[in-house]
Amino acid sequence: MQTTRRRFLKYGLGGVLLLAVPAVGLSLRRSVLVEPKSALLTFSPRQYSTLTAMADTLCPGGGKLPSASDLDIAGTLDMLFSRMHPGVGADLAAALDLLENALAGAVLDQRFQTFTACDADVRDEVLRDWSTSAITLRRAVYKALRGFIMAAYWGNAATWGAIGYPGIADYSAVPSPPPFDEYIAALTPEPERGADDEPDSEPQEASP
Amino acid sequence: MTGSIVSAATFTSPTELDCDVCIVGSGAGGSVLAAGLVEQGLDVVMLEAGSHYTRKDFKGNQPWAFDNMYQERGARATEDLAITVLQGRSVGGSTTINWSTCYRTPDRIFAHWADVHGVKDVSPSMMAPHFDAVERRLNIKEWPVDRANGNNRVLLRGGEKLGWHPHALKRNVRGCMNSGYCGEGCPVDAKQGMAVSYLDDAVRGGLRIVCNCEVERFEWSERKAQAVHGVAVDPDSDHSLGIPVTVRAKVFVNSGGAINGPALFLRSGIEGNGLIGKRTFVHPVSGVSGLYDEHIGPWAGAPQSIGCHHFNDRGPEKMGFFLEAAPLQPMLASTVGFLFGGAHSEFMRKLGNVGVTIALGIDGILPQDVGGTVLLKSDGRVWLRYPIEAHLTECLAAAHKEMARCHFAAGAKQVATLHAEAIVMNSEAELSKLDSAPYGAHEQSLFTAHVMGGCAMGGEAGTSVVNSDLQMWDFDNLFVVDGSVLPTSLGVNPSETIYALAHRARERVAAAV
């Protein structure tokens, strides 16, 4: 049977629930919630908090760099996923639930707290384990979440100065090239020249 | 007669349109075809799921571009998430956001299609007039080497030292400012994407484009397609607005691209002998980065201007590959690899001195290489299943070693792979570190911007979806004109091949009206 990402998440959580019967105390370990900065459109407060914790682990900031929390990367992604197919948000919500769950953490990562309750070093270790896990689909989930978080964080102009990226140049005053008909006409000054003839020169392009 | 570009989101009631030809999709294939049909006096309607943007919207902003002009907001990937899939979604399709690299189809690929897939009348000499025509209209010309950016100069310098004959490649630009913003929509209309070239011609000639219209299915019976049914979508969210759009035509053309196009057929119950969506190829792309003492500035300048095809043919049992460069604006650069935390921030701080070379695997040529499959999921999503087989991992291993050699030859002081645990080398003597590197799914970053196949053309109905005229074998009035008709990948960037095949299809589609 092919193991799909949806099946992995479903059975991963299913397995956790099954194990949770004798280990209900562990599965009920509390999450440390953070207050969303705006109304959530995709995730629950718990999932938003997990995403915030993951984003801060991946992008902690420092020096001239802001942290992911400073930029509310979790909020940015909550908004993004609300504009995508509902299945995408559902998959990622399931992935965040799996990451947060203390029982899953105990089984998969030998940690006995929810992800949001872990200190920074433990979170760091957990994500490192996910990124190099022998379970392919665990690496896949890590890579997907990492990609979204990194894109939202480094796509934010507030991060650019610290890495020497000069920002986006403004070309709004540069005129568009002439319409094709005019362009070709400029290349073929001889009136008798046929439209299908190849041009033998072209106007000088703008300098960089 | 002047045509129009209208958003279906402005429709307030169910809308029905009649025309001679209805084209689904406004990318490289549909646009060149539309211009030719309009020129022949035909009444053409084009449906496009994405929005219509112009240069005033293009500000070099990568997050905005991915959010608005890429399929699934830039998050499209293969089913197992192992390969990121970059495809366009706006009027002009991928041509609005591609990196403007153009190549004619290699002769050996045409020969392979004829010999192995029975493709007829698609030879270098028979295609030459079509290449000539699109090169003229799109101003496809060699980009001067002296305008190559630092990232491409790395490939040029390294490749020349190693005797690999890297070359200046061609681009479809006119008045290019070398901004490096090709992937975000050209801010000065220099890139001759479809929206400012063939579609502009076609609309001035009468083409009616309905954008923000998600096509759901073809209505058909026996050998005739009768209508396409779509729905207006909200430009901001892409969610359905519940307003049906129906187009009735004499002839229909699926130009939806090599994932959405096959998916449309599958949703319509059109299976093409079970071949729809099969043999989908992606030029799987891997990358290796080099750290240089000099400033590279990989975010500026034409994204691609140097190519190297030294490894196209690696022998009868091996997948070939070709080398190019990739632009690295912060957002895209940050998503590759697996690093995080302080180590990743350190990588990003050095980004200005980093060059990245990419290797594109030439899939679909080996007999055992059947590529991927487009699938419909029960929740309505479209997925591409693309297994990473042994021939690909062998190719990735070889490509990594050659890319690393190239960086060292170009003067890199450190070379790193994009593996989950990056392999870092400080001299060519350390290339042996790559010998034990893993190359399976999620072992390293892989992506593609070239999706091909899924509705392959060929010589027989039993082994192909369309004939050499791009007409569906099972239909009298249904054609496919986009990258999905390619029987294999190309070993070069595919846009010009699609332009030329669409140019060739003009007469054939018109004759079916």
Indicate the domain borders of chain A.
Answer: 5-163
Residue B196: C-alpha distances to residues B170, B174, B378, B457 (Å): 19, 11, 38, 29
Structure tokens at B265: 């057929």
Indicate yes or no: CB of A154 within 8 angstroms of CB of B334: yes
Check A57 against B197: CB less than 8 A apart.
Answer: no
Residues of B in contact with A160 (CB under 8 A): 330
* Residue A101 · residue A16 · CB < 8 Å: yes
Instruction: Give me the phi and psi of A129, to 5 degrees please.
Output: -65, -40
pLDDT tens by residue, chain B, 513 residues: 789 999 999 999 999 999 999 999 999 999 999 999 999 999 999 999 999 999 999 999 999 999 999 999 999 999 999 999 999 999 999 999 999 999 999 999 999 999 999 999 999 999 999 999 999 999 999 999 999 999 999 999 999 999 999 999 999 999 999 999 999 999 999 999 999 999 999 999 999 999 999 999 999 999 999 999 999 999 999 999 999 999 999 999 999 999 999 999 999 999 999 999 999 999 999 999 999 999 999 999 999 999 999 999 999 899 999 999 999 999 999 999 899 999 999 999 999 999 999 999 999 999 999 999 999 999 989 999 999 999 999 999 999 999 999 999 999 999 999 998 899 999 999 999 999 999 999 999 999 999 999 999 999 999 999 999 999 999 999 999 999 999 999 999 999 999 999 999 999 999 999
pLDDT value for A197: 46
pLDDT at B342: 94
The answer to whether B351 contacts A124, with C-beta atoms less than 8 Å apart, is no
B61 CB neighbours in chain A (<8 A) are: 168
Question: Tens of pLDDT along A68-121?
Answer: 999 999 999 999 999 999 999 999 999 999 999 877 777 777 788 999 999 999
Q: Kindly list the residues from chain B whose CB atom is less than 8 angstroms away from the CB atom of residue A94.
A: none
Interface of A with B in 8-37 (CB under 8 A): none
3-state secondary structure B35-65: HHHHHCCCCEEEECCCECCCHHHCCCCHHHH
CA distance A57 to chain B (A): 6
pLDDT for B272 equals: 93
CATH of domain B4-71+87-139+180-272+455-511: 3.50.50.60
The shortest CB-CB distance from B351 to any of A57, A140, A163 is to A163
Q: What is residue B449's predicted lDDT score, i.e. its pLDDT?
A: 98
**Whole-number Å distance between alpha carbons of B479 and B251:** 8
Contact call for residues A68 and A61 (beta carbons, < 8 A): yes
Q: Do B301 and A152 touch (CB under 8 A)?
A: no
pLDDT band at A204 (very low <50, low <70, confident <90, very high): very low
**B84, B178, B188 ranked by CB distance to A208: nearest:** B178
- H-helix segments, B272-349: 330-335, 341-349
According to DSSP, residue A69 is labeled T
Any residues with CB less than 8 A from the CB of B252 and at least 6 apart, and which?
B21, B22, B23, B24, B218, B225, B228, B477, B478, B479
Q: Which residues of B touch A59 (CB under 8 A)?
A: 340-341, 344-345
State the pLDDT confidence band at A2, using cuts at 50, 70 and 90. very low
Q: What is the longest distance spanned by two Cα atoms in chain B?
A: 69
- pLDDT at site A202: 44
Average pLDDT, chain A: 83
Tokens 């089913």, residue? B79
Q: Which of A171, A174, A181 to mutate to test the interface with B (most CBs of B within 10 A)?
A: A171
Say whether residue A80 is in contact with chain B using an 8 A CB cutoff: yes
- φ and ψ at residue B257, rounded to 5 degrees: 95, 170
A66 reaches B (C-beta below 8 A): no
Reduced to 3 states (helix: H, G, I; strand: E, B; else coil), residue B106 is coil
Q: Are B175 and A160 within 8 A, CB to CB?
A: no
Phi, psi angle pair for A126, to nearest 5°: -60, -45
**Max Cα–Cα distance, chain A, nearest Å:** 91
Report the alpha-carbon distance of residue A52 to residue A10 in Å, rounded.
Answer: 23
**CB-hemisphere CA count at 13 Å for B341?**
13
User: What tokens does A131 get?
Assistant: 């990124």
Question: 2.70.98, 3.30.410, 3.40.50, 1.10.287: which CATH number matches B145-173+285-362+389-440?
Answer: 3.30.410
Would an 8 Å CB–CB cutoff place A144 in contact with chain B?
yes
From the CA of A32, how many Å to the nearest CA of chain B? 21
What is this model's ipTM?
A: 0.95
Q: Long-range pairs for B156-162 at CB < 8 Å and ≥24 separation?
A: B156/B306, B157/B409, B157/B410, B157/B411, B158/B357, B158/B405, B158/B406, B158/B407, B158/B408, B158/B409, B158/B410, B159/B306, B159/B308, B159/B310, B159/B323, B159/B406, B159/B409, B161/B409, B161/B410, B162/B405, B162/B406, B162/B409
Instruction: Say if residue A206's pLDDT is above 80.
Output: no
What DSSP designation does B365 have? -
Q: Quick one: pLDDT band at residue A201, thresholds 50, 70, 90?
A: very low
One-letter amino acid of B227: A
The mean per-residue pLDDT over the stretch A173-193 comes to 81
Tell me where in chain B the CATH 3.30.410 domain(s) lie: 145-173+285-362+389-440
What is the pLDDT at residue A199?
43
Q: Contact at 8 Å (CB) between B327 and B176? A: no
User: What was the pLDDT predicted at A28?
Assistant: 61
